[in-house]
Structure 1
Amino acid sequence: MAELVYSTAVSKSDPLDRTCLIVGQVPHVKQIKFERLANVLSPRVDEETFQIAVDSLRFSSIPSNACATCPLWLNGAFVAGLPPYATRHNSDARPHALARAVQSTLGAVGGDRDEIIVVVCEKRNAFASASAIARVYPKYSAKSGKQKKTKTVTIDFVFVGEGDDAPLSEDEAKVMSSAAEGIRLAAQMVDTPCNLMHTDIFLDHVRAVGDKVHIKPVIIQGEDLVKHGFGGIYGVGKAAVHAPALAILSHTPKGATKTIAWVGKGIVYDTGGLSIKDKLHMPGMKRDCGGAAAILGAFQAAVTEGFSENLHAVFCLAENAVGPEATRPDDIHTFYSGKTVEINNTDAEGRLVLGDGVAYARKDLKADIVVDMATLTGAQGISTGRYHAGLLTNDGDWETACQYAGRASGDLVFPLPYTPEFHFAEFNSSVADMKNSVANRSNAQSSCAGLFINSHLGFDFPGTWIHLDIAAPVYTGERATGYGVALLMCLFSSYSKSALLSGLASSFQKKSPADDDAKPPPSKKRRSGKA
């Protein structure tokens, strides 16, 4: 277990006592005078040794996400160079390479020694860098044996670039800490297996976050879902020992003029239901709550740092279990939207719970902007890859804003085609308003899955709808990444009272040429959630 501390100045440290990593793009590291780093390297590493090590960092001429590293003093100090290439659909902060640099140096050393990481970067990349480091330090472990002590990982920043020599402020460090806490909370919940993270325990986490920000959640669970008309959520989770639920946390500050709803898929385990997964595809399905976990972490961080508009976090929770009460293929459920759905694949369950969630956001919460986040389709990883979430939206300006926020946060996104006229017919049913799974699995599966959710919000919805399919980026290897927390904080940064977050839009006007097509999120002065 590690405690992360974001520092406002380069700390005094000896590599004999704390393992040290200096990391950044090589040209940036070379700009820094050694005196600014001597606090963490002396007396073990002198200036000449440091310069020789930096000069030794080499990269291939072929674009790569690999970093270059060199030890400075035994296993006590390292320098790492981030790759020189960050192309137009990557973040200029190189967050994935930064995470690799930390893992390949400090992670390889291991142990419970305290650590210090000095990130050399432009200030506009500080938030993405801070978030990337948070993803490297997971909180969940069930390993037996002697309990290791909690080590302290101090993260310092040395800024380069014109006007960026001022140190990190207390407020900026606080925002980074809030983001890191949200990221690590989301990752912890996704890493935890269903026997320890079933719907009732997930609800306990919702209540805990509510207590922290002084908000009491609304919870509708079990048979009450039927009474209220939530046929989608109930139909997915009714066979499980722990009952399905809809939970809502609502932040409603005075003076708010806009209402935003974040709706998360919280399938705590997905067996596939009666359309059961095989032994190769079922392991890892504890991660199917990644969307709801990310929204919980993001809500905690956003409200903690001050959010000027109405913000609702909606959690659609269920375990897609097998049992006598399980939904069968051919069953028909009536959703909160009033629409009927013929089930032709019980393993297409995430869209069912989210259909109820987004309908609630429109009908009851009167949301202007609805974001749903979900580990929705395996096809997402094929469509947009391991690092980029699939993005589907009815609003072109917000599509651009999402891509910007992805690069600013390190949680990358890439658009999927939004053409209901081409794709929604895949759900045609002879006996209900729609089926829940497509007829042709070769026809933009990820777009189709998102459109199913959109149909329950209503294609006539006058506001902005944003769907984020995070199936692939929610984990790397066998660990959760906490994907989505930093993205939501950046996407809605114009509503934040944090100077660091609200300043991201203006700071990214001075971008690298690769990001010339990026633009800040639509102004909060626009009406009806439209950008």
Structure 2
Amino acid sequence: MNLNTSARSIPSTLKFEATPLSTPTETVLISRKSVLSSAIQANDALSIIPPGAPIKGMMKSIGKTGKATTFLPDDSGSKFTLILLPEKVTRNNHPLSPHTITDSLVGGNILGKGGENGVQVYVLDDKIEERMGAVAAAIARAMPVYTSKSQATKKDEEEVEEKVNNVSVSFMNEIGAAVESKDLWDSLNSAATSVRLAGKLGDMPPAELNPATYAAEVKQITNELKESGHNVVYEEIVGDELKEKGYGGVYGVGMAAGVAPRIVIVTYTPEVDTAVESVALCGKGVCYDTGGLSLKPKTGMPGMKHDMGGSAGLLGAFKAAVELKTPKKITLILGIVENAIGPKAVRNDDILTMYSGKTVEINNTDAEGRLVLGDLVAHASKHIQGLDIIVDMATLTGAQLVTTGKKHAGILAKTEELEQRTYRSGLTSGDLCYPMLYAPELLKSEFASKVADMKNSVKDRGNAQASCAGHFIEAHLDSNYKGDWVHVDMAGPDTKMERATGYGVALVLGLLGAPGFN
């Protein structure tokens, strides 16, 4: 999908390739001080350092971690930026601290000033091939796509030819030699494009991204994958059909909106006899969340365009996984709705019948995401034959930020094996996550109802609330489902500084074992 076809896109390209730009406007070198020092000691004329760059002085001025920029003494006006990453990180962080990479590149808008000559980024590390995926995603996050800023035009209103900013990234080993693997480059380019796609969708305002236009985006991506020769099938269940078929959670949340709610299902079947696992990806796609009749306050509602971040991350991961011919059968299931107010809005005290057959007494219309996901996991666990794993992902609770913070998603897994697999995927991919308390038998009483099978919100917000929300979703798995399940609450890492981050793409690629992320 071309990210720059819209007039509301920042014109830029990001490519991961072995051959660097010849005369970049700016050269950026990212490394740890110890690795860079060893490389310089082994090769004084390290080719990735522009001639005349005072590299040793810059390293000294930075100290352990940070960045420094200098103009090069060649009368070209070009610059050189050095970014030194932390030497050591704790066990719950990626070794190259991807957040440091993103923050360093965003600060000063380093990747947005390359112009036609572009920016050349070199990443130097002693274990670079196993860390490229996380770095690629971190760099992609530093290049957001969506904008609604007005564009300068000529007085005669003729179109101005946009200058596309080019960014090229090359990866080098500890002696400064380039990584040459084409398969790795293909993987990184696909993953980075998907991270930027997920960020773009998250940043789009609700007037542009509603359930209908979002579904159209998914259908377009499906068609492009199909045209590229991939075996993908698109299905959509819309509006009253949801009600007729029993998807009471999705329909109930979205029935008051001006645009009908829907479930979008895209199935990928890899080449014959190559699928080693069947995985369902269930995403919360709340294009806007007013809170419903439990209306959010004026300071709590801005930013709720990002409440579809879980679905965007899964869509991006699905797209990249298919492009890379990942040997898994993958089913993408998105619940796309607006949680609006109006005469048809679901009320507190209403009772919804979910697709699982269980009844839910509404005691908080702002706890809507779990209703959507409850229907999605019920569908997956009931209808997908031979399903091994269900992954649901959502910006589900503010409590997740209290539980695992703003950089780590909270994960809740049925088995310790899947919990550890997901956690390790976070460490490898740079989409960090950490396990939350798994204890349904201790927490299910939080949803006790006198008149229905359960309520949709806890009675005690101080009792492992983020875990409770995940257990609510788990309660709607089909009773005959024998596979595994993991819930990813990524409310914290989904956004930063009012921008969507594309979180989840890299995590799920790692979980699926996609090339470059396994």
Contact kept, 8 Å, 2:333 with 2:376, in 1: the verdict is: yes
15, 21, 24: which one aligns with 2:31: 24
Q: Which amino acid aligns with 2:70?
A: P
Q: Which amino acid aligns with 2:91?
A: R
197, 204, 208: which one aligns with 1:196: 208
Q: Give the distance between the partners of 1:151 and 1:208, measured in 2 at CA.
A: 26
Structure 1 window deviating more from structure 2 (197-206 vs 253-262): it is 253-262
Structure 1 window deviating more from structure 2 (79-88 vs 199-208): it is 79-88
- Change over 3 Å in CA distance of 1:459–1:24 after alignment to 2: farther
Listed one character per residue, the Cα deviations across residues 381-430 of structure 1 (whole Å, up to 9, x for unaligned) are 11100000000001101111111110111100000011001111100001
Q: Which amino acid aligns with 2:332?
A: A
1:55, distance to aligned residue in structure 2 (A): 3.1
114, 119, 124: which one aligns with 1:115: 119
1:38 corresponds to: 47
1:480 corresponds to: 500
Q: Which amino acid aligns with 1:470?
A: M
2:259 corresponds to: 242
Count of equivalent residues:
483
Contact kept, 8 Å, 2:21 with 2:168, in 1: the verdict is: no
1:51 corresponds to: 56
Give unpaired runs (5+ residues) of structure 2. 1-10, 153-159, 227-231
Q: Which amino acid aligns with 2:285?
A: G
Contact kept, 8 Å, 1:13 with 1:41, in 2: the verdict is: no
1:287, distance to aligned residue in structure 2 (A): 0.3
Q: Give the distance between the partners of 1:106 and 1:38, measured in 2 at CA.
A: 25
408, 423, 428: which one aligns with 1:403: 423
State whether structure 2 residue 482 is matched by structure 1 residue 466. no
RMSD: 1.9
1:336, distance to aligned residue in structure 2 (A): 0.6
1:394 corresponds to: 414
Contact kept, 8 Å, 1:368 with 1:463, in 2: the verdict is: yes
Q: Which amino acid aligns with 1:41?
A: P
1:463, distance to aligned residue in structure 2 (A): 1.2
Structure 1 window deviating more from structure 2 (246-255 vs 321-330): it is 246-255
Name the SS of the counterpart of 2:28 in structure 1: strand
Contact kept, 8 Å, 1:245 with 1:317, in 2: the verdict is: yes
314, 336, 350: which one aligns with 2:333: 314
Name the SS of the counterpart of 2:424 in structure 1: helix
1:218 corresponds to: 235
- Change over 3 Å in CA distance of 1:442–1:460 after alignment to 2: farther
1:19, distance to aligned residue in structure 2 (A): 1.0
- Change over 3 Å in CA distance of 1:170–1:281 after alignment to 2: same
Q: Which amino acid aligns with 1:94?
A: S
Listed one character per residue, the Cα deviations across residues 136-166 of structure 1 (whole Å, up to 9, x for unaligned) are 00110010022742211000111128xx956
Contact kept, 8 Å, 2:278 with 2:328, in 1: the verdict is: yes
1:154 corresponds to: 168
1:436 corresponds to: 456
Alignment of 1:100-499 (within 5 A): 100-107=103-110, 110=113, 112=115, 114-121=118-125, 122-123=127-128, 124-146=130-152, 148-160=162-174, 167-214=179-226, 215-253=232-270, 254-255=272-273, 256=275, 258-366=277-385, 367-458=387-478, 461-493=481-513, 496=514, 498=515
Q: Give the distance between the partners of 1:55 and 1:72, measured in 2 at CA.
A: 17
Listed one character per residue, the Cα deviations across residues 44-97 of structure 1 (whole Å, up to 9, x for unaligned) are x25xx22222233213xxxxxx63434353761111111223111001121000
Q: Which amino acid aligns with 1:92?
A: P
Listed one character per residue, the Cα deviations across residues 305-355 of structure 1 (whole Å, up to 9, x for unaligned) are 012121100001110000110000000111110101000100000000000
Name the SS of the counterpart of 2:334 in structure 1: strand
1:8 corresponds to: 18
- Change over 3 Å in CA distance of 1:87–1:21 after alignment to 2: same
77, 89, 93: which one aligns with 2:80: 77
Q: Give the distance between the partners of 1:81 and 1:465, measured in 2 at CA.
A: 39
Q: Give the distance between the partners of 2:39 and 2:21, measured in 1 at CA.
A: 17
- Give the TM-score taking structure 2 as reference length: 0.90
Q: Give the distance between the partners of 1:191 and 1:357, measured in 2 at CA.
A: 24
Contact kept, 8 Å, 1:259 with 1:309, in 2: the verdict is: yes
Structure 1 window deviating more from structure 2 (247-256 vs 432-441): it is 247-256
Q: Give the distance between the partners of 1:29 and 1:257, measured in 2 at CA.
A: 41
Contact kept, 8 Å, 1:30 with 1:54, in 2: the verdict is: no
Contact kept, 8 Å, 1:99 with 1:136, in 2: the verdict is: yes
1:36, distance to aligned residue in structure 2 (A): 6.6
Name the SS of the counterpart of 1:213 in structure 2: helix
Q: Give the distance between the partners of 2:406 and 2:452, measured in 1 at CA.
A: 35
2:4 corresponds to: none
- Give the TM-score taking structure 1 as reference length: 0.87
Structure 1 moving runs of 4+ over 6 Å: none
1:37, distance to aligned residue in structure 2 (A): 4.4
Q: Give the distance between the partners of 2:66 and 2:447, measured in 1 at CA.
A: 45
Q: Give the distance between the partners of 2:314 and 2:237, measured in 1 at CA.
A: 18
Name the SS of the counterpart of 1:216 in structure 2: strand
Q: Give the distance between the partners of 2:233 and 2:218, measured in 1 at CA.
A: 9
- Change over 3 Å in CA distance of 1:283–1:485 after alignment to 2: same
Q: Give the distance between the partners of 1:312 and 1:330, measured in 2 at CA.
A: 34
Name the SS of the counterpart of 2:233 in structure 1: coil
Q: Give the distance between the partners of 2:71 and 2:344, measured in 1 at CA.
A: 62
Structure 1 window deviating more from structure 2 (311-320 vs 92-101): it is 92-101
Name the SS of the counterpart of 2:120 in structure 1: strand
Percent identity over paired residues: 39
Contact kept, 8 Å, 2:26 with 2:114, in 1: the verdict is: no
Name the SS of the counterpart of 2:136 in structure 1: helix
1:514 corresponds to: none
Listed one character per residue, the Cα deviations across residues 217-264 of structure 1 (whole Å, up to 9, x for unaligned) are 110000000111100000000000110000101012322353210000
- Change over 3 Å in CA distance of 1:116–1:36 after alignment to 2: farther
Q: Give the distance between the partners of 2:109 and 2:79, measured in 1 at CA.
A: 9
Name the SS of the counterpart of 2:506 in structure 1: helix
1:486, distance to aligned residue in structure 2 (A): 0.4
Contact kept, 8 Å, 1:58 with 1:68, in 2: the verdict is: no
Q: Give the distance between the partners of 1:171 and 1:420, measured in 2 at CA.
A: 43
Q: Give the distance between the partners of 1:414 and 1:375, measured in 2 at CA.
A: 15
- Change over 3 Å in CA distance of 1:142–1:156 after alignment to 2: same
Q: Give the distance between the partners of 1:233 and 1:109, measured in 2 at CA.
A: 40
